[in-house]
Structure 1
Amino acid sequence: MPHYDLPLPELETYAPPRHEPADFAEFWAKTLAGAREHDLDVTGRPAAAYLRTVAVRDVSFAGFGDHRIGAWHLRPREASGDVPTVVQFLGYGDGRGTPVDWLMWPAAGFAVLVVDTRGQGARARRAGLTGDPGGSDNAHVEGFLTKGVLDPDDYYYRRVYTDGVRAVEAARTLPGTDAGHVAVAGTSQGGAIALGVSGLAPELVDAAIVHVPFLCDVRRAVTIADRAPYAELLAFLRTHRGAAEQALRTIDHVDGTTLAAHATAPALFSVALMDQICPPSGVYAAYHHYAGPKSLDVYPYNDHEGGAADADIASVQWLQELWS
C-alpha cells in the first residue's frame, strides 16, 4: 500500500481545529462522578501458578455503571517493594487472553494490569470475559463503533473510556504498585483508550504510550479510511443520512484530538505512514494537540501493524529511561 494520506511535510505540521463540544468538560465530569459513586471493589485471586518468576492475579473492579471489568495483574515475583505499573488497553475486538500473552512488562521489571474491553474478545486472537450490560438496543452497524452513536450518554465509548479511568484507579490500589509511576499503554483502540484516560484523568497518569491510535480526527478519518472499524461508521452514515451530523457530534466527545489537548503526562506516540485502518493524519492531529511532553516514532513503510516488536522494545526502553 503506497502512502495515501497527506504528504509527510504536511503531516508534520497537521493540527486541524478540534471539534470540542461545548459540554465536553461537564459531560465527562458528570460521567466520571457517576462512576465514582460506586466503590471500586477491586477483587483478585492468584492465577497461573505455572509462571514461576511472575506473580499473576485474576482481578476485577467496578467500571462504568458498576459493571464488573476483568483484568490480569502480573508483576515480577521476586520484586522487592513497589514497582512501576503499566495499565495496558487492548486493540479492537481483542480480549485479555492468558497471562502468557503479557510477559514482556514483568520481564522488563514492571507490573502490568491488562484490562478487558467490555463486550469484546470474541473475534480477535485473544479471548475476553467482560460483557457490556449498558447501552440501549438502538440500531447500529455490526461491531462497536456505532453502538449508541446518536446519543453521547448512550455511546459505547463513553462506557469504555470510563472503564479505562477506573482501571487506572484500580491499579493504584493493587499491592506492590509504585503510585508515582503508573503508565497507560495501548495500540490502535488501546491507544485511543490510553489517550482518552490521559486527557480525562491527567492527575492519575504519569506516562502514556500511544501507538497508531484509533478515534483521532474522526471526521477526516471516515472520509479516507474504508477498512473496519471506520467502515462501520461509514456504513451508518450512509444509511442514516439525516442523522450523520448527530452521530459525528457524539463521537466528538471521544475524539483523541480533543482528549490530547487535556493530557499532561510525558507521552510516546507512534505512527505508520501506510496505515489504512488508523490514518496517519489522525495520529499527527492528536500528537500535535497533545499538551504534555511528547515524542513520535515514525514507521514510513508499515500498515496498521506499525512498529510491531520494534514498537514494543521502544516502549520498554522509553519508559525505563523516563523513570530511571
Structure 2
Amino acid sequence: DQPDNAVFYLNLRKDVEIRCNLKQHLIRQLFSREDLTIDMFDAKDQLKLAHKGGLLDLKQEVVASLRDPKVACWLLQAEDKVIPLQAMVQQYCPEMTAICQLAGRSPGSTGPASNCGSAIDAKIRCTVESFLVHHLLLSQLDHFTTLDRPQDMTATFTSREMPIHVALARMELVGFPAGGAKLGALIARLKAAKDRIAERVRQLNGGRKLDFGSTREVAAVLKVPKDRNGRTRTSRQVLERIDSPLAALVIAWRKIDSNLSRTIEPLGRGIIGGRRIYGSSYCFTSTGRISMHEPNLQTVVKDFRVEIEPGKVELFSCRGTFACEDSSKVLISADFCQLELCVLTH
C-alpha cells in the first residue's frame, strides 16, 4: 500500500527507458476502466492535449469517471469568474499554499503543469498540481455536504457536469463537417449582392454613393426626423417605418453585411482543410449556458431572403453549407433553448 500523499510521475519524453507505446497503453487502460476515478485540473483541455499528443485515441471512449476542481469550484461559487488554481488553494486548502508556490504561477486559468514556458522543472509542476488537485477535490466535496441538498450537488458534479466536459472535448477534437467550397461560394454571392444593392442605391440617390454605416448620411438621404431627444436614429425599426425603396435597400445591405462580418466570414476562416470547423466552448458562465469562441457554431444564421431588385428575392443559406461526409446521413437544422434543456437535465 502507498501513502495517501504519494505522487508518481510518468515522463512522456521519448529519450527515457520506458518505450512510448507502453506508456500510451497504460494511459489508455486507465481511461478505459469503469471502476476508476481520475482527478485532473482543466479536464476538457487536458483531454484535448492527451488526444493531440497521441496518448488517447478518439475511437476509444473515456469510460473512467472524471473530476475537475474547476468545475466543482464553479458549482460552489455560482459565478462566471473562473479563479486560478492558486486562489482555489487559498480558498479551500489554505494550509497548502506553500506547496502550491513550488509550482509557480500559471497564466490565465490553466494549471502550472501546462505552463510550458515556466522555468520550473516539469516534474515539479506536474506532481505539485496532481497533489493539490487531489486535496482540493476532497475539500470541495466536503463543502458540498454543507449545502441544503448535498447528494443532489454531488450527483450534479460527477454524473452531469463532468460528462458534459468529456463530451465537449470530443466534439471540439472531432470538429463539425462543413463545405469550404460551398461556404466560399456563399460569401462570394453575398458580396456580389452587396455590390448590386450599393449600385442600385447610387442610381436612386442621384448618382451619389451612400455610406451605409453612417447614421448621418443615411438619415440625410431618407430625411429621417430627429427623436424627442434631438437625436437621429437609423436602426432597422426606424427604417422599416419609412415607405421608401431606399430604406428597404439600406436594411437589406446592412443585413447582408452583418451576417457576413459576424458569422459567415469567421466560419469561412475557421474551416481547416476545407472540410471541418473546430470550435472552442466555454462552460463557466453564471447561468450554466455553454458559449463558444470564434468560430462560433452556435450563431450560424438561419436561411434569409433579401429583395435586391423589385420582385427579385434571393435566398441565402449558411446552414446549407454544412453536410455529413457520409452521404447516407443528413444533418437536421433545429433551434432550441439551451437553458431550458439545462433545466430539464437537472
TM-score, scaled to structure 1: 0.26
Larger radius of gyration: 2
Greater RCO, 1 or 2 (C-alpha within 8 Å, sep 6+): 1
Structure with the larger helix share: 2
Structure with the larger strand share: 1
TM-score, scaled to structure 2: 0.24
